[in-house]
Amino acid sequence: MKYPTLDEWIDNVKSLPNNKASGPSGISYEMLKNLNEDNQSFLHAFICVCMDLNDIPDEWKKATIYLIPKPKLFFANLTNTRPIMLLETPRKAFISLLNRRLSRILKNNNVLKGNQFAALPGNSTFEPIRMINEIIQDAKENNKELWLLSQDLGKAYDRVNIFMLEKAMKRIKILPNFIKIISSLFKNRQNQVITAYGLTDPYDVLIGID
């Protein structure tokens, strides 16, 4: 896998959104954007080392979780909260770079076909919604019997099996070192939860993706 150029890295950092919560270190996207060229070069070189090693630093595998209350009474029930995970921004910038590259490859080579309406450039959920709507309209207008099943998998990202994720990436011929980097993101991780009394003790994350 080719290293990103310094210009590619800087353009990627500039594209990151503002006013987003930072990870455990407190480093924000705005801080990354305002680095001078020497520091951007240092961070770029650091990213290239990560690509060489097919891994990320241990500190980037630590995250904090903040529980946002849903508009209902809590009753000490975690399902009445919406957890958000706060990750280190340099890690997120690195993943943004990899994601842009992968999305471009998948889109240009038409890798995801059929009903794979992933978040690729130029695609959205508009197409499948329109198709379903037209099928319903046709059934109504022609008095046809129609059975429609809609499934919503709760906590979908929390249920992803890393071994099966690796298998899925191999099936669509993603480069081995790219697979190793992605897998490294979700192994040997630790989280802490933000509470009214401070952070909880770290706990190991055994399944799921961030």
Is 67 in a helix, a strand, or coil? strand
What was the pLDDT predicted at 164? 93
Q: Between vectors from CA 98 to CA 92 and to CA 3, what angle results, nearest 5°?
A: 115
CB 120 within 8 A of CB 103: yes
What was the pLDDT predicted at 118? 62
* Residues sharing a CB contact under 8 Å with residue 73, sequence separation 6 or more, in sequence order: 80
What was the pLDDT predicted at 158? 84
What was the pLDDT predicted at 109? 85
Average pLDDT, consecutive stretches of 10 residues, N- to C-terminus, the chain (210 residues): 92 95 94 95 96 95 92 83 93 95 87 71 80 94 92 81 93 93 93 94 91
Q: Which helix (H) or strand (E) holds 65?
A: strand 62-69
What was the pLDDT predicted at 120? 74
Q: The pTM is what?
A: 0.84
What was the pLDDT predicted at 151? 80
Nearest Cα to Cα of residue 8 among 37, 44, 32? 44
What was the pLDDT predicted at 14? 95
What was the pLDDT predicted at 24? 94
The residue ranges of every structural domain in the chain are 6-114+153-205
Cα 72 to chain centroid, rounded: 28
Q: DSSP per residue over 80-138, as a string? A: GEEEEEE--HHHHHHHHHHHHHHHHHHHHTT-S-TT---S-TT--THHHHHHHHHHHHH
What was the pLDDT predicted at 129? 86
